[in-house]
Structure 1
């Protein structure tokens, strides 16, 4: 039974919560760039904020910089002192750059009973779940780099072929499966499966933050929306040079009548807050994500959508700092929703839910296909203390917006499932003005379609619009 300050984890009737019985197949080893950045996250006691900042300055011997100064213009980050601490005041976290001996002092403060510094963790790199793992997403290619373009096209085609083969098992694809496919003339299969197409709500008046690779700000489908945006990536503007962010923002908040059918967006009148926390190459770090969350909470966004994260190492639990940030966000009326991860290779191997979606107070989203079967890449809830899947959403062959000149694209991943849940959260928030924070989170989980799949894989079931 969940603790009072934790979100409930409903299970589908008859669901089997045990891990898969197939032989373990280790995940692909993480590259050297997937580990720690060398910087540190420090959780500050919000009731003793002034004391915490003073202690941080004295123990780390660094200059304190407010988040407003550090992120009002991401280019300023390159001008910050080599040793400094950027304090995200609203969520009570600092990103610290300091020498090794000072790092030891910080750890001693956190474990030694210092009441103003609650935790210290290495900052991790995060990816667009995980950029290369999102099925069908090619990395940005420099103009004229034909050899790289050819390689990426082959990689994309190979991965797509693997997905098609996985979906074809048990005879669910092929000619018969295609004949029974959903008619997407007017709206995508995901919009239909989640009942977004028949909802009378549009997300009007609800602030929805999408923290990703940015947005194609000149995309005609978003014209006249009055979008609020900010880049948290040094040297890069909000303009999306990757595509991942534009695709996710389109699913969450694309218009009901796009320039070219079918309809692909859930909450077409939500107030979009676009935070670029991942670079055009699809990568970023915890500090940028926390900066974006801090900004979203400051702007009273009711929902934060994050199709990003990093795979866990064996035995690695959830981040205490991200968990506390999520709790503080809920207390402020903000629900954080994140992608469960694309690291499984079902049925042989099921990977655990990624960071930071594995935090108990962050809503973790799995992906299902058009037959409402778990996507072969979707991570599973294998850890009881955090790490559960909470809800599922469409995540295979999902059409949405894409930067010009392509304008639209069809791709797959838990990255795509996440903004479905975020957009529908906006509909629920509009439908019930009293539903904010943890109340909204529970409302989302209570309004699902039960699936005949393990709760390990789909949590409460398929997300449904009000």
Structure 2
């Protein structure tokens, strides 16, 4: 069964009327720019109020605020900040949507190398979760999506923390997309008498509802979810959501960068705006196009890039980093239905998040080190890196294999890598 919640253009970036995101260059008041005796974080709320803006929310771990006001004021305020050398950016708040595919893949060859069986999904087989001796134990994975069906019987007894950032809706998943993504990342493996579908079955689950039961949400909820995950010291944040905007959105440059500084890796879906069978390779949208967020493309059962999966854009940002199984993915679903099979870069992302949890358990790596390990250990594919990045994410081998494995030769020019600190200034101010 496939669901269709969007058309190829349904995820175009839509501003939220009268709402803006303020991105600070330094989130820490103690280290902030000073204006007289006041820090940037102390000065800006007063200035915003004086200019007619209302401060809605400030996320201290991200150094990002959401404000309300009139669009005519925006340019004047940014110009005034620039004239005073105040290191901040002010951009419109955007809307985001789930990234499940509208239809099955066209033209898949007969006899694919991977297929679901009675024990495992094809995705678990492809990332080699079955062979790995790791389960994600001790690792905290946050999935920011449409919520979670906490009453799902496959998750009985699991360590699950839920929170809603959608006004008027609790954390229960009234859509299905969030429960499906959580199932792929952290669902059961093995599952007696049924098909197992979870990459990291013993990871602690943090289910943040940042998209409504209709499958959409804005920067405010998503940034609140990221801030909450950092507050809970999550190792990995998985976001199967996006907007079809080519420009790098400054809030996620800041959020991704500051998450890595705190030892948290954010993984996000590259996007579903391609129609490769019609000659359109698409482009990586926000928030995955942040250079500090790991962007995930989708593969089919033949380990070919999916027809809908977005391609790397030239220049800064918009890069596909790794790939995961994203076509015909079976996982958990709310209510009596229990299970569903859908496609999208949304489905590839939790596969990679689950693999990241296994790698973090195996190595102790977090943040930038975990990013580098995930890229280095991916299985290279005979396809362009602009489409599949470093290749298919792979679970770590059992401990006995790791102990005897030869040290790999250094890669002189990695297919995909996490940016250096020197890129931060260019990324922060170079887009918007």
How far the C-alpha of 1:386 sits from its partner, in A, is 1.0
The one of 23, 32, 36 aligned to 1:48: 32
Provide the secondary structure at the position in 2 that maps to 1:234: coil
Where in structure 2 are the equivalents of 1:254-403 lying within 5 Å?
A: 254-258=187-191, 261-312=194-245, 316-347=246-277, 348-403=279-334
Contact 2:114 2:125 in 1 (8 A): no
- Paired residue for 2:62, among 86, 91, 110? 91
Structure 1: unaligned runs, 5 residues or longer: 1-26, 64-81, 137-158
Alignment TM-score, normalising by the size of structure 2: 0.84
| Structure 1 match to 2:96 | 126
Partner in structure 2 of residue 166 of structure 1: 107
Please tell me whether residue 135 in structure 1 is matched to residue 113 in structure 2: no
Structure 1 distance, partners of 2:299, 2:327, is: 7
Partner residue of 1:147? none
Q: Distance in 2 between matches of 1:195 and 1:293?
A: 29
CA deviation string 1:216-236 (max 9, x = no partner): 010011111131111000000
Q: What residue in structure 1 maps to residue 382 of structure 2?
A: 452
The DSSP-based 3-state class of the residue aligned with 2:337 is coil
Counterpart of 2:336 in 1: which secondary structure? coil
Length-normalised TM-score, structure 1: 0.78
1:59 Cα deviation (Å)? 1.9
Q: Name the CA distance, whole Å, in 1 between partners of 2:203 and 2:68.
A: 37
Map of 1:114 onto structure 2: 85
- 1:222-273 alpha-carbon deviations (Å, 9 max, x no partner): 1111311110000001000000000000000001133652110000010111
Q: What is the CA deviation profile of residues 316-342 of structure 1, one whole-angstrom value per residue up to 9, with x for unaligned ones?
A: 421223112211110000000000001
* Deviation at residue 90 of structure 1 after TM alignment: 1.0
- Give the alignment's Cα RMSD to 1 decimal: 2.2
Give SS of 1:304's match: strand
Runs of 4+ in 1 over 4 A off after TM superposition: 27-33
2:421 aligned residue: none
- Give the equivalent residue in structure 1 for 2:357: 426
Q: What is the total number of aligned residue pairs between the two structures?
A: 381
Distance 1:338 1:295 in 2: 17
Q: In the alignment, is the contact (CA less than 8 A) between 1:119 and 1:320 conserved in 2?
A: yes
Give the 3 Å change call, closer, same or farther, for CA 32–420 of structure 1 in structure 2: closer
The structural deviation recorded for 1:405 is 0.8
- Per the TM alignment, residue 298 of structure 1 is displaced from its structure 2 partner at its CA by 1.1
| 1:146-174 Cα shifts (integer Å, max 9, x gaps) | xxxxxxxxxxxxx33xx2x332xxxx13x
- Aligned counterparts of 1:40 and 1:269: Cα–Cα separation in 2: 39
Aligned residue among 136, 159, 168 for 1:226: 159
Deviation at 1:28, TM superposition (A): 4.8
Distance 1:384 1:32 in 2: 21
Q: Which moved more, 1:340-349 or 1:413-422?
A: 340-349
Report the Cα offset of residue 120 of structure 1.
1.1
Deviation of 1:104 after TM superposition, in Å, equals 3.9
Change (3 A) 1:440 1:62: farther
The one of 121, 133, 145 aligned to 1:200: 133
C-alpha displacement of 1:455: 0.3
- The CA distance in 1 between the partners of 2:258 and 2:13, in whole Å, is 30
Q: Is this contact kept in 2: 1:60–1:105, CA < 8 A? A: no
What is the match of residue 39 of structure 1? Answer: 19
**Offset of 1:185 from its aligned partner?**
1.4
